[in-house]
Structure 1
Amino acid sequence: MTAQQSAERIYYILKDALTQQAEVRKRAEKALRDAEEKEDYFASLAAIATAPNDQAESQSTISTQISVWISYIARSDFPNDWPNILSDLVQASKKEDGSVVLHALVTLDMVLKQLASRRLIPHRRALYRVAPMVFSELHNQFCNSLNILLQNAAPEEQLKMHFDVLVRCMKSFRRLINYGCENPADIAQLPSVMSKIVEYPDVFMRGATIGTEFQIRLSHLASKLVRVMHEGHPVQFQAYLPTFLKLYYDTIISYTPGVSHDRTCYQAALFLKNVAQCPSYRINSTTIAQFKAAPNLNPKPQGQASADTCRDIVLLFFDDDRTDLLIEAMITKIFVLTKREVETWAADPESLILDEDAAEWGAQSLRHECEELFKMLLIRDKPRIVPKILKLAEAVSKDKPLMLDACYRAVGRAVYDIQGAFDFEVWLNGHLGAILQSDYSDNLGERIIQARTAWLVAQFAEQLTRDSRRVINPLLVRLVTFMERDLVVALTAAKAIQTLAEDLGFHAGDFAAHLHVCLENCFRLMTKCDAFETKRDILGTVTCLVERCLPQHVAGEVELIATALPQMWENTGVISEHTNERLMEKRDLEGGLDVSGLHEKSSGGEVLLRTSIVGLLTALMRKVGAVCVQVERMNRMVIAVLQFSLDMSKEGGGLYLVEEGCELWSALIAASTKYTKEVRMLFPMTERILGVDFDNLREVFRVMESYALLGGDEFMNEFGDALKSILMRALGAVKDRGCLAAADILNSMLIRFPGQGVRYMAEILRDMLAKVFAKRESQVVSCAFVGLLARAVLTNIEEFETLVLERDESKCVDLMDCLVENLDAMYGLAIRKRTVACLCMVMRRYWASEAIRMRFGAVASVIVQVVRQEENAGKRDGAGGEGGKEFCAAGCQVRGGG
């Protein structure tokens, strides 16, 4: 078989291995394993990677999948079994056939991506050795294609091909710089690539100015290349640092909303932020004042690279004038609400709020990176910059609400950085207080400022005094009532109320007068919202108020919550009329919109909302459970929610609500004073939950313990066998934490049922005793089991002797040995005292036994040990060691009994 025939054979095997037909795929995988044993296997793969056989287009699905397959093989076999893969791909990229060139470059990029993911030092060094060669060859391709594009010296189809070559080369450059070299100086062609980026800003720096799709994409790739090089080699980047600082600074300064390309400007802002906070430069090692006072600072970028020189370059670049101009540009151009956001304010307010929340959590966006850059610059020269920001905000006239909103946003984002340099109370007692007190306005600009003011109050929650909170609380509650005409203002106010309630400065008594109105407004607000995420956030506000307010105040709101939640629970997953109207309008405008399957798509939000409802009920039960169980409507609601949340079938919500459901269940049992029929009917759910897995074992065990304490003999008579079965199965199949949880339940039951506890749990105690004797459990589990056995002996030694030890004297001797061995490892004085008391009782009962008497010395030793611990604890507590005397008496009784 010739080399070409072998390559074609491997190619078609690979195609079959990628098919959806299982039988064909299995045959192909077997054939591929057989082919791996042949000598020409890698040569055939190289031929496929460099000559894509019958593919008409280099980007076809089969071609791309085969490139991915080859990259995974190269990851495991380079360089030992397949050392020539990179050189073969580089040579193939020089051919005249454009489809072959692109396919080779695509495969090369994927291979480099896989090789870059290897972290072992030998693998890294293997890539270091070949990276300069690969970079050099790609550099030639890069320069050739760039010249053709600049001269426009080819037909349109070939120009597109050369653009694709540029894209692939720049992606490979990025991987080689980041992962293929220890020092950028090892790559001789790197300065040439960087100079090309600087030399042709119309091609590679089009972020702030409009350009073609090709120019914007190349600009984005160039920005990522520069940023990756700086992140990977910050000190070696010294020669390029002044140039790219200036280029990307100008990009942000020249930004024009609606014209500039946000994605590329985002890379520019990210680069400036990374430089400003680069740990290698140790910029924080000197203050701005010290740096300005230093004489004759004129670092030379072309000199020997050093972190100190880079630091001086950065500090010299961000002088007062540049910093002020950059901050002003970011506030006036990037922090300002865009035209699309202003339109969204009325058309889709919930989306606007969700986008704002996403920005707070670090969503990748130009505005977020500029906010981070703004904070970095601010904290470096806070005494000088903060007054300028405040002056800028105070100088903005009321007829420019978007600019004022941007200034307030800047102040709010830098809240932690301007502490000590700004008194928020002055603003609050002045123009901000007037804004909060103003009535609803038909002017959108005024409503934007009102919403931003509520947001700003939440940002400065930690700095608010109690007197200020007393004034602000009713104003925020009033803003929630604007829901009928401006949903953004209402939602922002609700979020601000939650933030103030979560803060340590919250005083429940001061908010009590507004609690009822606030909860009413929140539930009304939910009826105006469509997005599940928005409803979840509003429920978060309600839950926070329930948790933070006093029980006597929350108790009066149980009826209100019980009225609102059932309908809300039933409506999860149902589209509101308002949503239907908006969907119909959108369908008419867009000429057709498929809304089928909307219910299926909303299942994620449905889960969020149901989880929030369960969380609210749990908080309410923990706060005022005794009141909740007495309110019939609330009690029915909780039972219905539990039946759904604990149902592990496909129709129920147990697959995603079982953890929250168990917490609510535990809170319900803890608050109940009667063992009712509804509560009793829920217990079989424990077996179904643990029948799926043991992920919620501890939560279920807590519920079972609560049932035993609440139901008493009635519960044990009905579910005692089921309880024993669950505990037996868990003790033999779970890890230490599960065993400890089971031991806690048994301990509680022995306390709750002193007369029948040992008889109820005799089978489990025998199994526990066998595990202790076998010494297969961990030390912590053995100590817990031994402590529990000691409890059982002290509870009813006659039944323990008959049902557990089975009147076997040898087991009694082994039990004493285990008690003595595990005493030192027991945590806590109480369990040690219980163990010593058990030893005394057993010795006294079996003193006639020779084997028992032989262990008196060991028992006396541990008695003395625990007595001393008890006396020391008594001295610390001022009790005078009375407990020690009692144990001494117990020891004497043992010997006297003999």
Structure 2
Amino acid sequence: MDPNIYALVLDTLNRATSQDTEVLKPAEKKLQEWEIEPGFYSVLLNVLSNHSIDVNVRWLAVMCFKNGVDRYWRRNAPNAIQDEEKQKLRQGLLTTSILSEPIAQIATQEAVLIAKIARFDCPTHWPTLLPDLIGAMKAPQPLMQQRSLLIFHHVVKALASKRLIEDKRTFQELTVSVYSFILNLWHENTELFLRHIQEGAATELITEHLEKALLCLRILRKLTVFGFKKPHESQDAIAFLNVVFDRAKTSLECRKLLKGRGIYPLELCEKFIIHLTKVALGVLFFHPFSYVPLIRPSLEFALYYCFTEQGMSLTYERFTIQCLNIVKGILQCVEYKLPKGSEPVKEPLTLQGHQQKVAVLQPSAVSLVCRQLVARYFPLSADDLALWDAEPESFATDEAGESWKYSLRPCTEAVFMELFHEYRSILAPELVRLLASLQESQVSPDDLPAILKKDAIYNAVGLAAFDLYDDVDFDEWFTKVLSQELKITDNNYRIIRRRVCQLIGQWCGVRASAALRPAMYAALLEPLARAGEDAAVKLAAAEALRSTIDDFNFDVEQFAPFAPHALSALYDLLVTIAYMLPAATTLIPVSKLNFFRRD
């Protein structure tokens, strides 16, 4: 490309940001034609480096540059960028103008751009990248420190994602060379932002150090999880992991102060706390033996902040989910489970991990957690009921996949099931007592709190169905209680009707006699065919009906008398849901509508 083309490219970029399609389209086409021209990306870099150019133009330039790296940076790519131009681009991307980018959004895109190149070229073809960035982090200018940290974060993130053995070895060597420096930088900025919050310093000062501390923490998380074969063999990694929960405790107190003042860094502080828990989860998942010394402090930490009044007063939903995921991860981890029978323990850390877990999860603590989950986390909230009223079809859609990682209700239910499965002998009597307490008095349809409590206990019994096989006589319970509750048509009782339908679906394959099947079909068809019945209840009944049909012991002849009524009711429900879909924000999954699928 001719060196004098700069003005033409700049003009084309200007026109490509126009709102007029007649101006925009030809400009976009011209930029696409230039993607394979030698020197084009050098011109884009010059545009990026000029802070006096319009922000929208520079934004478009960095996006074009990123697209070009994706398509033409590989040596064997068609129309690949020449090595001479690549060398100039690598040098130009670490100039003062790039490292002092004033616009945060453009700075982020530049960091991603550099990381994309680093994934191809670092360290073989770009050995100076990391030393130059570390040098820039030591610069006296706060903005340059922040931008170089931002770039370093994205570079580390890109390099950590490589999975070839040689790439992993290279990343481990990188970790050894930079870990101590980043750890010290994290300590320094964390101390500063915590102290500034406690002293009531200016928002700008708090934000500056909090942003740097958060970037350092993100870098440390990738280095710790992917940069060591065994993190517990590194003194620096141990030093970092040993302060994670202490920093989280202090940060939660500081978050409370920020929340009281209602200032911007609150959101950043919450992200900082969440990333501390992500460090713990990452090490637990990828290096369970390295996590053994953290089992006890992390369980005590999670139980305090999720199940005590003092701790819960400092928390927020995303943090609670992370803590419960740590508990779930420890309970699930096979490395902390003793062999069955008389087999010897081959790995000493397995025995140590089991002992650490048992030391915290004593019977009294396990019972407390179970009661708190059922009493505090399982009842439907005001927001749940509001969603039910506004969009019953969305409310009725089951959470699927890995929603337990991000949503509170699936998370608490997953922890409950994991806890119940491991401590069945302790929790089964506890849950049976809770269930028996409901039979002592009839719940009034006007008593919403009592209905929500009953629904929560029913939910727990449904989740633990397989573990309660010997403790609950479902036939008797269904005949005397559940089938009768389906007949109560008060609006508040829709909560119980929906849950009863779900219970039938959960227990039909666990402990329900063949003789009971016709009564179950009839019970489910009652709300399904009832005029004016709540849509969420009908969907629960339809899902339960599908579960009874998919059951291994399904008898076609038993179901035959109910088939015409079931098909009619399901067709009516399908029409109703189809009519409601245009206003819905969440579509009903195909599995909800495919009632008679037989795998």
Q: Which category describes the TM-score, using the shorter chain as reference length?
A: 0.7 to 0.9
Structure 1: how far apart are the matches of 2:488 and 2:435? 23
Q: How does 1:151-550 map to 2 (within 5 A)?
A: 151-152=195-196, 155-185=202-232, 187-205=234-252, 211=259, 212-254=266-308, 260-283=315-338, 285=340, 306-354=349-397, 356-358=398-400, 364-396=406-438, 398=443, 399=447, 400-436=450-486, 438-442=487-491, 444=492, 446-462=493-509, 463-529=511-577, 530-531=580-581, 533-534=587-588, 536=590, 539-541=593-595, 543-544=596-597
Letter in 1 for 2:35: R
Correspondence 1:123 to 2:167: yes
Identity, % of aligned positions: 21
Kept after mapping to 2: 8 A contact 1:412/1:459? yes
- Once residues 360 and 450 of structure 1 are traced to their aligned partners in structure 2, the CA distance between those partners, rounded to angstroms, is 27
Q: CA separation of 1:408/1:170 partners in 2, compared to 1, >3 Å: closer, same or farther?
A: same
Q: CA deviation at 1:477?
A: 0.8
Over residues 636-661 of structure 1, what are the superposed CA-to-partner deviations in whole Å (9 max), with x where a residue is unaligned? xxxxxxxxxxxxxxxxxxxxxxxxxx
Report the secondary structure of 2:323's partner residue: helix
Residue of structure 1 in register with 2:138 after alignment = 94
Counterpart CA distance in 2 for 1:85 and 1:510 is: 73
Distance 1:78 1:305 in 2: 39
Distance in structure 2 (CA, Å) of the matches to 1:155 and 1:123: 43
**CA deviation after TM superposition for structure 1 residue 166, in Å:** 1.3
Q: 1:166 to 1:199 in 2, by over 3 A?
A: same
Aligned amino acid, residue 253 of structure 1: F
- On the 8 A contact 1:68/1:110 being kept in 2, the answer is yes
CA displacement at 1:415 relative to structure 2: 2.1
Aligned residue identity for 1:88: D
- Does structure 1 conserve the Cα–Cα contact (< 8 Å) formed by 2:431 and 2:461? yes
Question: What amino acid sits opposite 2:350 in the alignment?
Answer: A
Task: Report the CA distance between 1:147 and its aligned residue.
Answer: 2.1
- Three-state SS of the structure 1 residue aligned to 2:280 is helix
Residues 828-867 of structure 1: matches in 2 within 5 Å?
none
Query: Structure 1's 465 and 207: CA in aligned 2 closer, same or farther, altered over 3 A?
Result: farther
2:184 and 2:271 map into 1 onto residues whose CA distance is 21
Displacement after TM superposition at 1:168 (Å): 0.8
- Tell whether 2:35 aligns with 1:22: no
How many Å separate the matches in 1 of 2:112 and 2:194?
A: 32
Deviation at 1:35, TM superposition (A): 6.2
Cα distance between partner residues in 2 of 1:29 and 1:128: 36
TM-score, normalised relative to structure 2: 0.77
User: Which structure 2 residues correspond to residues 1-20 of structure 1 after superposition, within 5 A?
Assistant: 20=28
- Match 1:79 to one of 110, 123, 130: 123
Instruction: Determine if contact 2:34/2:40 at 8 Å carries over to the other structure.
Output: no
**Residue 56 of structure 1 pairs with residue 105 of structure 2:** no
For residues 774-826 of structure 1, the C-alpha deviation after alignment (integer angstroms, 9 at most, x for no partner) is xxxxxxxxxxxxxxxxxxxxxxxxxxxxxxxxxxxxxxxxxxxxxxxxxxxxx
Higher CA-based Rg: 1
Tell me, in whole angstroms, the C-alpha distance in 1 between the residues paired with 2:419 and 2:460: 12
TM-score by length of 1: 0.53
Give the deviation of 1:46 after TM superposition.
5.9
Hey, what's the Cα distance between the residues in 2 that align with 1:204 and 1:129? 32
- Residue 642 of structure 1: aligned partner: none
Give the superposition deviation at 1:172: 0.6
Quote the Cα distance in structure 1 between the aligned partners of 2:529 and 2:87: 77
- Deviation for aligned residue 1:305: 7.4
SS state of the match for residue 396, structure 2?
helix
Unaligned runs of 5+ in 2: 1-5, 18-26, 43-79, 260-265
Name the aligned partner's letter for residue 251 of structure 1.
Y
Letter in 1 for 2:467: D
Correspondence for 1:111 among 148, 155, 172: 155
Contact kept in structure 2, 1:235 and 1:305, CA below 8 Å: no
1:188 shift after superposition: 3.3
Contact (CA 8 Å) 2:38, 2:81: kept in 1 or not?
no
- The answer to whether the 8 Å contact 2:306/2:323 transfers is yes
* Deviation by residue 1:752-776 (Cα, 9 ceiling, x = unmatched): xxxxxxxxxxxxxxxxxxxxxxxxx
Q: Cα offset for 1:483?
A: 4.9
Q: SS of 2:152's equivalent?
A: helix
Cα pair distance change 1:402/1:419, threshold 3 Å? same
Deviations for 1:143-190, whole angstroms, at most 9, x for unmatched residues? Answer: 222222122175322321211111111111110011111222454333
Task: Report the CA distance shift for 1:377/1:197 in structure 2 as closer, same or farther (over 3 A).
Answer: same
State the AA in 2 paired with 1:335: F
Aligned pair in 2 of structure 1 residues 362, 245: CA closer, same or farther (>3 Å)? closer
C-alpha displacement of 1:362: 5.8
**SS in structure 2 opposite 1:484?**
coil
Partner SS state of residue 441, structure 1: coil
Please say if residues 252 and 265 of structure 1, whose CA atoms lie closer than 8 Å, have aligned partners that are also in contact.
yes
The two structures, once aligned, show a CA RMSD in angstroms of 3.6
- Superposition map of 1:849-888 within 5 A: none
How far apart, CA to CA, are the structure 1 residues paired with 2:328 and 2:363? 17
Question: How many angstroms does 1:493 deviate by?
Answer: 1.1
* Equivalent position amino acid for 2:512 in 1: L
Between 1:86-95 and 1:363-372, the stretch displaced more is 363-372
Q: What whole-Å deviation, never above 9, does each CA across 1:302-355 have from its counterpart, x for those lacking one?
A: xx972211111112221101111111111111121111111222221111101x
Deviation at 1:270, TM superposition (A): 0.9
- Distance in 1 between residues matched to 2:476 and 2:513, nearest whole Å: 12
2:67 paired residue number: none
Distance 1:363 1:250, change over 3 A: closer
Please state whether the residue corresponding to 2:467 is helix, strand or coil.
Answer: coil
Contact 2:328 2:414 in 1 (8 A): yes
Number of aligned positions between the proteins: 515
Match status 1:37 vs 2:46: no
Question: How far off its partner does 1:423 sit?
Answer: 2.8
Letter in 2 for 1:319: Q
In the TM superposition, residue 388 of structure 1 has moved relative to its aligned partner by 1.1
Q: 2:535, 2:519 → 1: CA distance?
A: 23
Point out which structure has higher relative CO (alpha carbons under 8 A, 6+ apart): 2
Pair 1:472–1:390, CA change in 2 (3 A): same
**CA distance in 2 between partners of 1:127 and 1:425 (Å):** 60
Decide whether the 8 Å contact of 2:255 with 2:270 is kept in 1.
Answer: no
Distance of 2:94 and 2:184 partners within structure 1:
23
Contact 1:102 1:165 in 2 (8 A): yes
* 8 Å contact kept, 1:75–1:115: yes
Give, as a single letter, the amino acid of the residue that structure 2 aligns with 1:84.
T
* Separation in 1, partners of 2:382, 2:401: 18
- Given residue 382 of structure 2, which amino acid in structure 1 is its aligned partner? K
Structure 1 residue 195, shift from structure 2 partner: 4.4
